Amino acid sequence: MSSGTAVALTKSQSDELNPFMAMSKRFDAAADHLGLDEGLREVLRTPDREVTVAIPITMDSGKLKVFIGYRVQHNFSRGPCKGGIRFAPDVNLDEVRALAAWMTWKCSVVDLPFGGGKGGVICDPRTMSMGELERMTRRYTAAIMDVIGPDRDVPAPDVNTNEQTMAWIMDTYSMHVRATSTAIVTGKPLALGGSKGRTEATGRGVMIAVREALKKLGLNVANPRVVVQGSGNVGGIGARLLQQQGFKIVSLSDIDTAIYKADGLNVVDVLDFIKKNKTLRGYPNVQHITREEQLLLDCEILVPAATENQITSANADKIKAKLIVEGANGPTTAAADAILESKGVLVVPDILANAGGVTVSYFEWVQDRAAYFWSEAEVNQKLETVMVHSFAEVDETAKKFKCSLRIGAYILAIDRVANTYRLRGTYA
Ligand code: NAD
C-alpha cells in the first residue's frame, strides 16, 4: 500500500496483504505437514541474496533521476536462480522477496533444475519513453552484473517488461562479458535465441491447468463461463487459448476497467483494441463494470491473471466461481484461501497454474546452451507433458496429506528443495 492510501489498514489487514507473509504462511503449513526441523525451515525461508541498486538515468528532459532496483535470489540449491523482472511504481523489497521465493517453489513443483529469483525496478513505465526505458534497463543490468549469469541467475519478463527488455539485458550483459551470451535471459526475441512458444507458454499452461482441474472437479458444463482478470501476456493469451478450446470468456479487464458480455467476448478483437489504444477503456458494445465487480461475476471459472492480493478476506465469500486458476503470482491471500476452501471452491495455485512460463524458459535456456532449436510443436508437446504430470503429482500429494492443492504444491516443492539441501549439506 502506498503512503497516500486514504483508508488506514489494521495490522492484520496489512499482514494479510504482505506477499512475503502470505508466502510464509503457506510455507509453514507445508513444512508442518513435512515435519521439517526448525533449522532447515530457517534456511529455506531466508533469501540467499538480496541486492538493492541505484539506477541513475538521464531523462529525455535532460534531468538526472535515480530509480531503485532490486534482485533477490531466494534459493540456488537446485540450480541457477530463475525469475522475472518487473517495472512498476509499487515494486518493493517484500514483494520481490515473496516473488523470488514463489519462483523457488514453482521451479521445484515442475521439477526444473533452477532455484528462484526475482527483480524489480520502482518506476512508472507508462510515463517513460522507449529511450528512458532502454537506459534504465541497461543501467540496471550493469548494476546487477555480478550476480546474474547463465549459471547464476537468469532473468525473464514479468509485469511491464517484455522481449525488448530482455534483448537490452542480453546485449548489455554480452557487451560486458565480451561474448554473445544468449542464455543470460529467457523470453528473448526469436532472432536472439528465444524459444518458439515462449510468449504463449504461461497462458498455454493456464489453459492446460483449467482443463486438468475441470477433469478433477468433474464439472460437466457446456462452454463454461470464464472471467479473466488482466489482459496481458498471461490473461490475454490465456483467454485467447481458452476461447479456442470452446470456453466462453464473459469478462476481461485491465488496470483501467473491466468489461462483461454474457454471451461471450471476441477475445482477439478485445486484445487488438488494447494493442491499438493502450487501454480497455472505451471498448464498444459491452457492459463496463468496475474491477471489483468483475471478480464477483457469475461464472464457472475465474482466472486472476493481473497482480497480487485480488482475492482477499474482503471479497472471497462473495466469489461465485467454482474453480479459480491463478495465472498471476499471489492473487489470493492466505485468509481468502480458508474462506474459499470452506465454500468448496477449487483453487489451482499460482506455483502450478502459471508454471508454463518458467517451464518454456527452461526449454529456452537448454536450447541456447545447446545452440540447437526446437520446433513450436515440440516445445508445446514438452510443456503439455510437464504441466499434466505436475498437476497429477500435486493432486496426489494433496490427497496423501489431505490438504488443498496449494498446500500440496508447496509440500511437493519444499520437499524437493529440502532434499537437495540435505544432500549438498551446509558448507561452512
Ligand atoms: P502484463 O504486464 O503483460 O499484463 C498485466 C495485465 O494486468 C495488464 O492487462 C494490466 O493492465 C492488468 N492489471 C494490472 N493491475 C491490474 C489490476 N489491479 N486489476 C486488473 N488488471 C490489472 O503482465 P503478465 O506477464 O501478464 O503478468 C501478470 C501476472 O502473471 C503477474 O502476477 C506475473 O507475475 C504473473 N506471471 C507472469 C508470467 C509470464 O510469463 N509473463 C509467468 C508467471 C506468472
**What CATH number corresponds to the domain at position 101?**
3.40.50.10860
Name the least confident of 16-20, 30-34, 342-346.
Answer: 16-20
158 lines ligand 1 (CB under 6 A): yes
Please give the pLDDT value at position 11.
Answer: 67
Index of the ligand 1 atom closest to the CA of residue 230: 7
- 54 and 183 inside one domain: yes
- 178 and 282 inside one domain: no
CA of 427 to the centre of ligand 1 (A): 38
- 277 and 319 inside one domain: yes
118 is a catalytic site residue: yes
Nearest CA to ligand 1 atom 17: 255
- 219 and 301 inside one domain: yes
- Tell whether the model's pLDDT for residue 333 goes beyond 50: yes
- Are the C-beta atoms of 229 and 321 separated by less than 8 Å? no
Grid coordinates belonging to 256: 483501467
Q: Using one digit for the tens of pLDDT, what is the confidence trace for 35-92?
A: 999 999 999 999 999 999 999 999 999 999 999 999 999 999 999 999 999 999 999 9
The structure's pTM equals: 0.94
How does DSSP assign 235-294, residue by residue?
HHHHHHHHHHTT-EEEEEE-SS-EEE-TT---HHHHHHHHHHHSSSTT-SSSEEE-HHHH
In a domain, 267, yes or no: yes
CA of 234 to the centre of ligand 1 (A): 6
- 348 and 249 inside one domain: yes
- 133 and 207 inside one domain: no
Domain count, the chain: 2
Domain interval for residue 335: 199-353
Strand-by-strand arrangement of the 225-229 sheet: 287-289, 258-260, 248-253, 225-229, 301-304, 323-325, 346-348
In a domain, 13, yes or no: no
Q: Using one digit for the tens of pLDDT, what is the confidence trace for 396-428?
A: 999 999 999 999 999 999 999 999 999 999 998
Q: Is 282 exposed, middle or buried (0-12, 13-18, 19+ CB in 10 A)?
A: exposed
| 184: DSSP letter | G
- 283 and 323 inside one domain: yes
Q: Using one digit for the tens of pLDDT, what is the confidence trace for 144-200?
A: 999 999 999 999 999 899 999 999 999 999 999 999 999 999 999 999 999 999 999
What is the arithmetic mean of pLDDT over 265-275?
A: 98
CA of 287 to the centre of ligand 1 (A): 22
- 170 and 240 inside one domain: no
Please give the pLDDT value at position 20.
Answer: 85
- 177 and 206 inside one domain: no
Of 194, 226, 242, the position where a domain reaches its end is 194
